[in-house]
Structure 1
Amino acid sequence: MTSLLVQPTGAAQAPTQTRRRGRGGILVAVLRNRKASIGLGIFVVFCLLAAVPQLFTSVRDPNKLAFTPSETPSGAHWLGTTALGQDIWAQLVYGTRQSLVIAVAAGLFATVLSVLIGVSAAYLGGVADDVLSLLTNVFLVIPTFPLIIILATYAGKGTLLVVLIVLVVTGWSYGANQLRAQALSLRNRDFLESARVRGERRSYIIVFEVLPTMTSLIVANFLGAALYSVLTAAGLQFLGLGDPNSISWGTMLYWSQNQQALQTGLPLWSIAPGACVALLGVAFALMNYAFDEISNPALRPVRRPRVRRVHS
């Protein structure tokens, strides 16, 4: 006789998984999440390319016109050469550093600004909340990309600092709005009331009581801001609003467009940096989705109960 016994293994193991997650911390949760693992793996590869480009190419000056122009891919030049005689693979490897710096630095400073404005507005309330919320809403409704072009043009194009400032100024408002909404839901909780009764300062309560409960949301906002920075910076540099003499994926796209790479039989000059921009964006997006799932149980995939066959 054969019978089916359905055991709700997911429900039975839930307490054990919760305890393990508490002991292992957020790193274990990230490593167990498939999206986070894939995104983190792609990000680590790009970090290696940015940190030690000499390990991946023998060319030491990727801007040097040292090779035969318009060569096809070969063992000496994996992606061929540009119309000016530069190695495309070397430019791709060395360009990782600036693209990664822009993504991380702009994402970090935009997140810091979002935290300062969003959390402060929610906790302080009153006039401070009205003023900071008005400022956030103004930046939310302004068309972003035209504003970016105007700021980059009149602030003085050609420097990495200008690109970073433009990305931070235009990239903080969405995160600030999210963090304000979350902080509003925490403002009247018991643990904050007890901190006020103890006589703690507002700055102490915000930094040591409110922010630790919002860690997952802050990390998710950083990843979203970094994704925004990667794509926007590449767009700015492609339009010629960055430094055309610097080495980055955006400037590679700019020069390939100027030299009509697709029309002259050099498609990899355009495809390779575009693919890297897309891959780095995918890495940040996957990690962002993963942190949403880790911080919000309602977004996690539901595991079906296992069905075991018992023979008697």
Structure 2
Amino acid sequence: MRGILRSPKIVAGLLILAFFVVLAVLGPLLVGADPTKTSGAGLAGPSAAHWLGTTQSGQDVLAQVVYGARISMGVGVLSALIATALSIVVGLVGGYVGGVVDEVLSLITNIFLVLPALPLVIVLAGYLPSRGVMSVAAVIAVTGWAWGARVLRAQTLTLRGRDYVQAAKAGGERAWRIVFAEILPVEFPVIATSFLATVLAAILAEAGLSFLGLANLSTVSWGTMLYFAQNNQALLVGAWWWFIPPGLCIALIGAGLGLLNFGIDEIANPRLRTVLPKRARRARRAEVTS
């Protein structure tokens, strides 16, 4: 844990993510305003009454940004959880069992890998009878699990021949316990990076679906904010406060997830670690010699 907190990328990423988590959980309690409530102050710029201005219908942009964080981040995390669970099951089982099972699972994975993700998401979302959070998250997860499964399968193929795995087999351990108690913990860094990347991809996919009008437009999310801003020509009328805040939130949370991902990669892969400062190298040498 101490080594993780020494990474400036991980610390910066955690601070950014913590800010948005607090914004999603406690923000609505602090803002208090109804994000769908209209008023006569349409397209009003930022002021003391409305810190981020209002929409064309007089809705408070700050309230929409705060409430939209719940939907956008909720879809991202839920999609990543489903996709990561699928990739763990398919990747670990296929890589460890091998044979026909691995060939069938690899075939399914390869099919999803070659399918264009965004067009497939658009087609599936267009035929959904319900476009709620769960439905959109499930569609995004179905199209986003394959590449994580491919990475975990390759990692499992290299781990199943290790000495500790062979010792567990010789000791009579069951296959499911070897997979989930011996191999899975070693792959946690890979799973973590896959999960974070999937969260970011899911948030972007939700924003894209909402921007195209394929999500539930009655809910407030960063994507639906961009959709209504584009439909009401916010850029042409100069209402920059309508579309910049949700776009900036998506960019910032993407930067936080990216920094956290890079930091985990550097810890898991020594080749990616940057050169330690002179003071840190001297301290480490002093620890070794003492």
- For normalisation by structure 2, the TM-score amounts to 0.93
For residues 123-172 of structure 1, the C-alpha deviation after alignment (integer angstroms, 9 at most, x for no partner) is 00000010001111111111111111011011235311221011110010
Aligned to 1:49: 23
Q: 2:12 aligns with which of 3, 20, 38?
A: 38
The letter of the residue matching 1:238 is F
| Alpha-carbon separation, structure 1, partners of 2:238 and 2:198 | 36
Shift of 1:305: 4.8
Residue 28 (structure 1) aligned with residue 5 (structure 2): no
| Alpha-carbon separation, structure 1, partners of 2:28 and 2:140 | 29
The letter of the residue matching 1:272 is P
Q: Is the 8 A contact 1:67 1:81 kept in 2?
A: no
| Alpha-carbon separation, structure 1, partners of 2:90 and 2:80 | 15
Aligned to 1:64: 37
Residue 197 (structure 1) aligned with residue 170 (structure 2): yes
The letter of the residue matching 1:146 is P
Which structure is larger by alpha-carbon Rg, 1 or 2? 1
Matches within 5 A, 1:1-312: 27-59=1-33, 61-156=34-129, 158-303=131-276, 305=278
In the alignment, structure 1 segments of 5+ residues that lack a partner are 1-26
CA 1:67–1:95 in structure 2 vs 1: closer, same or farther (change >3 Å)?
farther
Shift of 1:28: 2.2
Please list every run of at least 4 consecutive aligned residues from structure 1 whose deviation after the TM superposition is greater than 4 angstroms: 304-308
| Alpha-carbon separation, structure 2, partners of 1:230 and 1:29 | 29
The letter of the residue matching 2:260 is M
Shift of 1:67: 4.5
Alignment RMSD, CA only?
A: 1.5
Shift of 1:103: 1.3
The letter of the residue matching 1:213 is V
| Alpha-carbon separation, structure 1, partners of 2:13 and 2:129 | 35
For residues 153-203 of structure 1, the C-alpha deviation after alignment (integer angstroms, 9 at most, x for no partner) is 112353112210111100101111111111110111111111111111111
CA 1:113–1:202 in structure 2 vs 1: closer, same or farther (change >3 Å)?
same
Q: Is the 8 A contact 1:49 1:56 kept in 2?
A: no
- For normalisation by structure 1, the TM-score amounts to 0.87
Shift of 1:66: 3.0
CA 1:206–1:262 in structure 2 vs 1: closer, same or farther (change >3 Å)?
same
Q: Is the 8 A contact 1:119 1:180 kept in 2?
A: yes
Shift of 1:283: 1.0
| Partner SS, residue 235 of structure 2 | coil
**Identity value in percent:** 46
Which structure has more helix as a fraction of its residues? 2
Q: Is the 8 A contact 2:42 2:58 kept in 1?
A: yes
In the alignment, structure 2 segments of 5+ residues that lack a partner are 283-290
Number of equivalent positions: 281
| Alpha-carbon separation, structure 2, partners of 1:230 and 1:198 | 45
Q: Is the 8 A contact 1:56 1:93 kept in 2?
A: no
The letter of the residue matching 1:249 is W
